[in-house]
A and B are shown apart, each in its own frame.
Chain A
Amino acid sequence: MSRRSFLFSFSTARCWGVVLKEFLQLKRDRVTFAMVVGIPVMLLILFGYAINMDPKHLKTTMIDADRSEFSRSFIMAMRNSAYFDFVGELDNEAEGEAALARGDVQFVVNIPSDFSRQLARGERPIVLVVADATDPAAASNAIGAVMRLADSVAWKDVSGPLAKLNGTTAPFDVQVHRRYNPEGITQYNIVPGLMGIILTMTMVMLTGLAMTRERERGTMENLLATPVRPLEVLTGKIVPYIFIGIIQASIILVAAIVLFHVPFVGGIVELYGVLLIYVAATLTVGIAISSLASNQLQGVQLTFFFFLPNVLLSGFMFPFYGMPQWAQVIAHALPMTYFNRLVRGIMLKGNGWLDLWPNLWPLMLFTLIMMGIALKFYRRTLD
């Protein structure tokens, strides 16, 4: 038979044999089957219901030194725009800056003490709105809304010294300060977040295959016959990848600074400390996956199943606070949510350990839980 006819001759019967064999094997692999159904359902739900490009109800706090009729009306108008949810009230600007740095709130509304007096004198006073612009996409619509407020707030039912303003447009200005990323450069937000994406994908995948490979190649039986203990195997499989993770993160960090000119205002010690914890968290996920999966393909599929919600819900791609409450609850169980906040906090906001702590301990807890799962499902015998 010539090479040409070898390549191009086609027997339907032979091909059908291959088709049948593939179907049979697919039917046996329950995890693949579950993924075939699970991944589209998950994507539909996340994109259809969770992701919102126009985030509303952003957490806002105020420093109201004026305490006048006006401030109450202004706050009411902001609330009515649906973009702002007011949580608490602060005493001074320093507290406001701290709340923004920790990520407790996205906006601080600052009404100066002699605001209504200036208003009465017609001096066009200024309302200062400080916004966390780390993620430009998340903040821009809300910023637009607050800018328009000044023109649209018409004064009704005002009594006392401001009564003469009834029915007019308030003669004041709203000034917005975009903190951390004043020019609204998307890369400033995306590139640090990318560190989380790349680490999640590679770390989980590499360790996800670590145990299943032993099982598939038959070397697991050998490993089990030696005196080596589960914790020793799991730790031994994690340690090399910690180095790989740190190297990867360093490459992204250098690229972020050199190529994308992402500002780095925080501490390098904090960054590497957080990186270590995050790498450990993702590696334990991988190890847990590989204890659960029975072959390498299942390991890859479970990795993907873990990776998707991390990308979509963590606030990396889409505004975190734009998501409905249930999606935020799920996102709070995902390590990347915390890592995004931590790495952006360090690089863009210059967060110190104290600011980082609220997002750091969940990562540590997550790592411990995953290690527990991995140990629990580690098969000590061949049973």
Chain B
Amino acid sequence: MSALPESRHRSLEFAIDVRGLNKVFGSRRVVNDLSLQVRTGEIFGFLGPNGSGKTTSIRLMCGLLTPDAGSGTCLGYDIIRESDAIKRNVGYMTQRFSFWEDLSIRENLDFVARVYQMADRKTAVENALIHLGLKERANQLAGALSGGWKQRLALAACMLHRPALLLLDEPTAGVDPAARRDFWEELHRLAAQGISVLVSTHYMDEAERCHKLAYISHGVLLAQGTAQEIVAAQKLFTWAIKSRTVHESDEGLTQLSSALDGKPGVLQTAAFGNALHVTGRDPVLLEKTLREMLVGQPYEMTQTETGLEEVFIHLMRISKSEREAQEAKR
């Protein structure tokens, strides 16, 4: 699939550049002063817990929702005034499969090609089918496809009009690991061709495949940068606690985990297979607490790198406690 975006879009510094976006539904502020920049040709990961405003933010950026406040551009077009131009040049993959299940794969692609007024419609559809590996099943109804195939069809359909920017809303939810890996390889191929990608996800391994990340919780952007930058910025220290005997049951670790909660220096604990990761901000205090707790126990502790997951869980917790503090003040 030759999917080279127009040079006009490739020469832009930012594919997405939005500032101070706000969206309120009823009394709930779903997006709160969101500012973010996605460089052209970058795969930008958009992370956050369920209901954090990721979908709403993506819809704001592609003109499907009107922001209550804020401004910005998408591919150089104003997100409020030029949503038509944005729609023509952006490929948006919805979180829920939103192609027509009662149309065949070919008919779905053909419809999309017509709506985007593609000059070489037939070739584009044929190429997409070949690229998808669905040439033989082109006449099968889209509704009969499995989750992984639906997701590939949706990606092919939103790539059909050769967009310069892809907005993907949890594209790999419910897709098996092999299909996910294929999907990400495809994304990197596209990015290498100069296509910018904003992708929301819940998977940490996917987050690590992104060039840049943003973490949003309750409509507020909490961190932005490369994975290393985000991890480094939080200045967290993590120890892994493992049983010395291999066959030690997990029960002990679970008990240890609850015993550690709220101890001086301990921010959070998380089970990782048969290890327990304990994270804290003060390395000296954390080590001291751990050593005291492990005296006479069949566990060994080693310092390990803080991962994205620990950082995100930490971010989620502080944003929660901050909000609770704010509500208490009111």
Contact = CB atoms under 8 A, between A and B. Distances in A.
Interface of A: 217-222, 224-228, 381-383
B115 A226 contact: yes
A228 B63 CA distance: 13
B211 interface: no
- The B contact surface, by secondary structure, is loop
B66 A381 contact: yes
B92 interface: yes
A226 B87 contact: yes
Contacts of B84: 227
Given A221-B64, A381-B65, A382-B65, A227 B98 contact: no
A220 B115 CA distance: 14
B64 A225 contact: yes
B85 to A, nearest CB: 9
The 10 tightest CB contacts between A and B, nearest first, are A222-B98, A225-B92, A226-B115, A227-B87, A218-B96, A218-B98, A228-B115, A227-B88, A219-B98, A221-B94
A219 B64 contact: no
Given A225-B92, A227-B87, A227-B88, A382 B99 contact: no
B202 interface: no
A381 B64 contact: yes
A219 B92 contact: no
The range of chain B's interface size is 20 to 34
A219 B100 contact: yes
B305 to A, nearest CB: 40
Contacts of A227: 84, 87-88, 115-117
A226 B116 contact: yes
Interface in B83-130: 84, 87-88, 90, 92, 94, 96-101, 112, 115-117
Contacts of A225: 62, 64, 87, 90, 92, 94
Contact of B94 (A218, A381, A383): A218
Nearest to A220: B98
B37 to A, nearest CB: 22
A381 B96 contact: no
A221 B112 CA distance: 13
B59 interface: yes
B158 to A, nearest CB: 8
A383 B101 CA distance: 25
Contacts of A219: 98-100
Given A225-B64, A227-B115, A383-B66, 11 more contacts: A217-B101, A218-B94, A219-B99, A224-B64, A225-B92, A226-B112, A226-B115, A226-B116, A227-B84, A381-B64, A382-B64
Contacts of A217: 98, 100-101
A218 B97 CA distance: 8
Contacts of B98: 217-222
23 contacts: A218-B96, A219-B98, A219-B100, A220-B98, A221-B94, A221-B98, A224-B64, A225-B62, A225-B64, A225-B87, A225-B92, A226-B87, A226-B112, A226-B115, A227-B115, A227-B117, A381-B64, A381-B65, A381-B66, A382-B59, A382-B64, A382-B65, A383-B66
